[in-house]
Amino acid sequence: MKSVQWHDTHITILNQQALPHKTEYLDLKNIKDVWDAIVALKVRGAPAIGMTAAFGLALAAKSYETNDLAQFHANLKRDRDYLASSRPTAVNLFWALDRLMKSVANATSVNEAKTTLIHEAICIQVEDEDVCRRIGEHALSLFQDGDRIMTICNAGAIATARYGTALAPFHLAKEKGMTLHAYACETRPVLQGARLTAWELSQAGVDVTLITDNMAAQTMKAKHISAVIVGADRIAANGDTANKIGTLGLAILANAFNIPFYVAAPLSTIDLQTETGDDIPIEERAKEEVTHIAGVNIAPNVNVYNPAFDVTPHELITGIITEKGIVSGDYKTKLPTLFEEVFV
């Protein structure tokens, strides 16, 4: 079962908020269900958010009663903007929605446009599986049997169509009979590392050790961590990368310990329109995510700052691993070449 699945009348998602205790699937029957599921992190991770929003837009369009193309496009723009308002940081959301909008720009009838939207959303999902596998192959070429690799958040199969980005090398290593040891940071405040990565990797038979976020430095030193690999929500044109809060701290630590720090992400996460990390909008979420753990209050009623993401400057990134290969160094010059037909 995939983390996101299209059915003709609804979208089914794996409820990532119920994991690891319950494997529960939810049916999203209209655009509001889709928006709510994205905001509540029931579906999360940049590529999965993009896929779900794409299916959500196709589902919404299916219900339009008009046969008038101009009216259809007006409705579609309204619903595109609504879904785009769900979360601000992961660029895959806007990338997927805009890809759907473009796919019907020249449609000659409402019926044709409705069918095209569904087709395009399915293509995004099918392509993502192939993209993640390629990312995994490239990432694996950097690692050796027995390596101990640290990660944060969940950039895994459940955050994508399959395999994941930062977790793809672990899944592929397993397929190939190679051993990689994962060290998963728990990822406060909402624990994607503890609840999701530890679950996903242990389900897949990958050797995974869970640590709290503040154990990263000690673990790098004591356990001789070979590399850090993380996912991304948006990569700016100069290589600065927004990812889950805590990523910047890991990058600084990796630098201090002289450990390579890799970002694994598809081209759909690279935003050449955003010049630097300073231009990436950082989502701030509800204070209860910090003051409560699993519904239990752990703090007095004080001010809370809860940024969901941070930005790692490109100087701290050893390499960005994409489906088209690995780039490093002068990201500003090299990232655009990834979008050329032939990448050498």
Residues taking part in catalysis: 233
Give the contact letters, 214-233, x = binds to ligand MRU (CB under 6 A), - = no.
-----------------xxx
Peptide bond before residue 20 is cis, with ω within 30 degrees of 0: yes
Q: Locate tokens 């990263």: which residue?
A: 216
# residues near ligand MRU by CB under 6 A: 19
Please name the amino acid found at residue 96.
Answer: A
What is the three-class DSSP state of 332? helix
Give the contact letters, 8-47, x = binds to ligand MRU (CB under 6 A), - = no.
---------------------------------x--xxxx
Q: How many residues does the chain have?
A: 344
Nearest to 55 by CA among 120, 102, 128, 105: 120
- In the complex with ligand MRU, the residue whose CB is nearer, 44 or 114, is 44
Please name the amino acid found at residue 66.
Answer: T
Q: Does 93 bind ligand MRU (CB under 6 A)?
A: no
Least Å from the CB of residue 29 to ligand MRU? 23
Least Å from the CB of residue 321 to ligand MRU? 12
Q: Locate tokens 């940071």: which residue?
A: 185
Q: Which residues are annotated as a binding site?
A: 44-46, 87, 192, 243-244
Q: Does residue 294 come out as left (phi exceeding 0), alpha (psi in the -120 to 50 range) or beta?
A: left
Q: Does 135 bind ligand MRU (CB under 6 A)?
A: no
Q: What is the CA radius of gyration of the chain?
A: 20
From candidates 4, 59, 104, 153, binder to ligand MRU by CB under 6 A: 153
**Interface with ligand MRU by CB under 6 A: which range of 119-127, 137-145, 160-168, 323-331?**
160-168
Distance in angstroms (rounded) separating the CA atoms of residues 73 and 107: 10
* Residues 6+ positions from 236 with CB-CB distance below 8 Å: 242, 271, 274, 275, 276, 277, 279, 280
Q: Does 155 bind ligand MRU (CB under 6 A)?
A: yes
- In the complex with ligand MRU, the residue whose CB is nearer, 47 or 319, is 47
Least Å from the CB of residue 105 to ligand MRU? 28
Of residues 242-261, those binding ligand MRU (CB under 6 A): 243-244
Q: Which residues are annotated as a binding site for substrate?
A: 44-46, 87, 192, 243-244
Q: Does 308 bind ligand MRU (CB under 6 A)?
A: yes
Return the DSSP state at 94.
H
